[in-house]
Amino acid sequence: MSGHYTSPIRDPLIEGNKTYHDITVDLVAATERAPSRAWWIAFGVSVSFLTLGVICMLITIWQGITSWNLNRTIGWGWDITNFVWWIGIGHAGTLISAILLLFRQKWRTGVNRAAEAMTIFAVICAAIFPGIHVGRIWVVFFFFPYPNTRGPLWPNFNSPLLWDVFAISTYFTVSLLFWYTGLVPDFATVRDRAKGLRKKFYNFLSFGWTGSAKHWQRWESLSLVLAGLATPLVLSVHTIVSFDFATSVIPGWHTTIFPPYFVAGAIFSGFAMVLTLMVITRHVLNIKEYITIEHIESMNKVILVTGTIVGVAYLTELFIAWYSGYVYEQFAFFNRALGPYWWAYFGMMACNVLSPQVFWFRKIRRNIWWTFFMSIFVNIGMWFERFVIIGTTLARDYLPSSWSYYVPSFVEIGIFLGTLGIFFTFYLLFTRVAPVVAIAEVKHILKSSGDQYVHGHEQASATAEVVEGSQP
């Protein structure tokens, strides 16, 4: 990290003239007090959605995939749409932790802990779908390659569906390790303030952390290497998910831009979900001084950039479809825009390409209400994008006599709502058990980015004006 020299043009990242002790108290507060009524209501709603989801999953397992509306030729519907949607959402956490660490962006410390937690919960939700959509979940262990007495029967290493199994298991494991490594010192902070049963609990979780200099050195080295590993990992995971489509020969699916385009889209939706959660969390837990408007603005800029990249990819696909002269490819896109699912296509375009353009305006980037509603739009748009790719293409492929239309069954809708329930239940529990902001990392940047040390360029220019104005 650079020394304490910070350019006067930068705005502070910690407000309120905090001391190290203030940071500790503010950020462990939520774990030390009983949940508020708002928390209980949110928890109740989430758990009911979760329950609905579990019931629908049990129905699926009991009755089979017949409880869904998948049929010829639409073999993938809400299941895979939701799978890709959740994996995409998970990408922001790793990006914030890993890539922003490598780029030395100090503002990541306000949001990385919650974003990493979000990644883990999102990946859990995503992993449910490959699990339950196979039909015979009791033999899902067939996926895993180990010497067996079934032949031996190995999985197909040539299939992107199996690459997915490895990618998502690895992603889940590495994200968990990365998240937990960061949490250990913060759990120690909670432990040292706790008494009785809570102390025992946090003692278990903090792995015996003492704050020794040698341990910090190893911890920083480990964080950097994990970040260096997690960066290509996060690119590879959504790339491999895109391979599920791109390795086929289906028009609209078989296109080489899918890997980086999917990654950009994942980051796009992930940041949107982080914003949705952060806007609420910072307000409810009263930590606006740690998740400042600077943080919000930076994340909105990332949304603008990744949304534009997604837009470039859309235009590229459209142009090359024309350029290729391949009638089926041209039809695929014609069908997306004007076929039976035209409403999904326009939803996608409006939410993903048009709406983020508002973030060109600084005032809007720094406005909480705009940010909150935009973040929801973006996630809706990205859901539509996956549905457009999957649903429209499968509904109208090569043979017109096979054309069909897909509408999800109540069981499928219930499962999706259930994953929302699982996600928010986990997140709500997380906010009670662990500090949602990386305490040690925020303390680390206090002297370079706290508002008593850094005044920001608006204040700097105001000071300059005062000085100039006072010239005789």
Partner 1 sequence: MKTLTISKNHRTVCIAMMAIGVLSLLATFFGADDELHTRFWTNFLHNSVFFTGIALMALFFMAASITAWAGWYVVFKRVWEAFSLFLPVGLVLMVIVAIGNYVGYHHLYHWSDPESVANDALLQGKSGFLNDNWYLLSTLIIGGLWYFLARKIRSLSLAEDEQGENSFEHHRKMRIYAAAALPIVGFTSAAMIWQWVMSIDPHWYSTLFAWYTAASWFVAMICITILIILYLKAQGYFENFNRDHLHDLGKLLFAFSIFWTYLWFSQYMLIWYGNVGEETGYFLTRIKDYPILFYGNLLINFALPFLVLLRNSTKRRNGTMIFVAVVVFLGHWMDIFQLIKPGALHTAHELAGHAHDGAAAEHGTSVTGFIFPHILELGTLIGFVGLFLFVVLTILSKASLEPAKDPYLQESLHHHV
Partner 2 sequence: MATKNKEILFGIYSDEEELLHAVHKANDAHLVIWDVFSPFPVHGMDEALHLSESRLHIVGFIFGLLGTLTAFLGMTWIFTSDWPIIFGGKPYWSIPAFIPITFELTVLFSSIGMVVVFYTISGMGPGVTNPTLHDRITDDKFCIAFDASNLSEEEIDKRESFLKDSGAEEISTKVI
Q: How far is the CB of 231 from partner 2 (least distance, A)?
A: 10
> Per CB under 8 A, does 217 bind partner 1?
no
Q: 453 is in the binding site of which of partner 2, partner 1, none (Cβ under 5 to 8 A by kind)?
A: none
Task: Give, as ranges, the residues between 239 and 268 that touch partner 1 (CB under 8 A).
Answer: 239, 243, 246-249, 254-260
Q: How far is the CB of 22 from partner 1 (least distance, A)?
A: 26
Q: 366 is in the binding site of which of partner 1, partner 2, none (Cβ under 5 to 8 A by kind)?
A: none
The number of residues making up the chain comes to: 472
Task: Give, as ranges, the residues between 149 and 208 that touch partner 1 (CB under 8 A).
Answer: none
| H/E segment holding residue 31 | helix 20-32
Q: 315 is in the binding site of which of partner 1, partner 2, none (Cβ under 5 to 8 A by kind)?
A: partner 1
Note whether 292 and 282 are within 8 A (CB): no
- Say how far apart CA 336 and CA 386 lie, in whole Å: 12
Q: Which residue has the tokens 């409810």?
A: 284
Q: 259 is in the binding site of which of partner 1, partner 2, none (Cβ under 5 to 8 A by kind)?
A: partner 1
Nearer to partner 2, 17 or 212 (CB): 212
> Per CB under 8 A, does 312 bind partner 1?
yes
- Single residue of 142, 144, 204, 360 touching partner 1 by CB under 8 A: 360
Distances (CA, A) of 295 to 109, 110, 301, 368, 447: 9, 7, 10, 11, 17
- Single residue of 23, 42, 235, 388 touching partner 1 by CB under 8 A: 235
Among 355, 133, 89, 135, which residue's Cα sits nearest to residue 237?
89
Site string for partner 1, 123-142 (x = CB under 8 A): --------------------
- Say how far apart CA 255 and CA 417 lie, in whole Å: 31
Q: How far is the CB of 164 from partner 1 (least distance, A)?
A: 15
Mutual angle of helices 213-246 and 160-193, in 10-degree steps: 150
Note whether 359 and 303 are within 8 A (CB): yes
Strand partners, 43: none
> Per CB under 8 A, does 399 bind partner 1?
no
- Say how far apart CA 314 and CA 353 lie, in whole Å: 9
Binding interface with partner 2 (CB under 8 A): 1, 3, 19-21, 23-24, 145, 151-154, 156-160, 162-163, 166-167, 169-170, 173-174, 177-178, 181, 184-185, 188-189, 191-193, 203-204, 207-222, 225-226, 229, 232-233, 236, 239-240, 243, 439-441, 443-444
- Say how far apart CA 274 and CA 268 lie, in whole Å: 10
**Is the alpha carbon torsion for 311, 312, 318, 319 positive or negative?**
positive
Among 304, 317, 12, 24, which residue's Cα sits nearest to residue 186?
24
Note whether 303 and 275 are within 8 A (CB): yes
Q: How far is the CB of 99 from partner 2 (least distance, A)?
A: 15
Chain residues that interact with partner 1, rule: CB under 8 A:
1-3, 5-10, 102-105, 231-232, 235, 239, 243, 246-249, 254-260, 301, 305, 308-309, 312-313, 315-317, 319-320, 323-326, 360, 457, 460-461, 463-465
